[in-house]
Amino acid sequence: MLAKRIIPCLDIKDGQTVKGVNFVNIKNVGDPVELGALYAEQGADELVFLDITATHEGRKTFVDLVKRIARGLNIPFTVGGGISELKDADALLNAGADKISINSSAVRNPQLIDDLARNFGSQFVVLAIDARSDNNRWTVTVNGGRIETDKELFAWAKEGESRGAGEILFTSMNHDGTKNGFANPELSQLAGMLTIPIIASGGAGNMDHFVEVFTEGKADAALAASVFHYKEIAIPELKNYLREKGIVVR
CATH of the domain at 194: 3.20.20.70
Q: Domain tally for the chain?
A: 1
| Residue range 29-36: mean pLDDT, rounded | 86
Closest CA to 101 of 110, 89, 114, 115: 89
Q: What is the pLDDT of residue 154?
A: 98
pLDDT tens digits, one per residue of 185-222 = 999 999 999 999 999 999 999 999 999 999 999 999 99
Determine contact, residues 5/221, Cβ cutoff 8 Å: yes
Is 164 part of any domain?
Answer: yes
Q: What is the pLDDT of residue 22?
A: 57
| Residue range 92-112: mean pLDDT, rounded | 96
Q: What is the pLDDT of residue 30?
A: 77
Residue 24 has pLDDT above 80, yes or no: no
Contacts of 113 (CB under 8 A, 6+ apart): 102, 106, 125, 127, 160, 163, 164, 165
How would you class 234 by CB atoms within 10 Å of its CB: exposed for 0-12, middle for 13-18, buried for 19 or more?
middle
**What's the rounded Cα separation, in Å, for the pair 8 and 247?**
18
**Residue tagged active-site, from 11, 45, 88, 176:** 11
Q: Which domain holds residue 202?
A: 5-244
The number of angstroms, rounded, from the C-alpha of 183 to the middle of its chain's C-alpha atoms is: 14
pLDDT tens digits, one per residue of 131-142 = 999 988 999 999
**Residue tagged active-site, from 51, 88, 130, 220:** 130
Q: Which amino acid is present at 68?
A: R
Is 187 part of any domain?
Answer: yes
Residue 26 has pLDDT above 70, yes or no: no
Catalytic residue check, 98? no
Residue 23 has pLDDT above 60, yes or no: no
Q: What is the pLDDT of residue 104?
A: 93
| Residue range 37-41: mean pLDDT, rounded | 96
Determine contact, residues 32/11, Cβ cutoff 8 Å: no
Q: What is the pLDDT of residue 27?
A: 62
Catalytic residue check, 31? no
What is the pTM (predicted TM-score) of this model? 0.93
Q: What is the pLDDT of residue 57?
A: 73
Is 229 part of any domain?
Answer: yes
**What's the rounded Cα separation, in Å, for the pair 32 and 234?**
17
Q: What is the pLDDT of residue 144?
A: 80
Is 44 part of any domain?
Answer: yes
Is 250 part of any domain?
Answer: no
Instruction: Give the helix ranges, DSSP H, for the chain.
Output: 32-42, 63-71, 86-95, 104-108, 111-120, 153-163, 184-193, 207-215, 226-229, 235-244
Is 249 part of any domain?
Answer: no
**What's the rounded Cα separation, in Å, for the pair 73 and 94?**
15
Confidence grade of residue 19 (pLDDT, cut at 50, 70, 90): low
Closest CA to 97 of 26, 167, 163, 48: 48
pLDDT tens digits, one per residue of 87-97 = 999 999 999 99
State the average pLDDT for the chain. Answer: 92
Residue 21 has pLDDT above 80, yes or no: no
Of 111 and 17, the structure prediction assigns the larger pLDDT to: 111
**What's the rounded Cα separation, in Å, for the pair 181 and 177?**
10
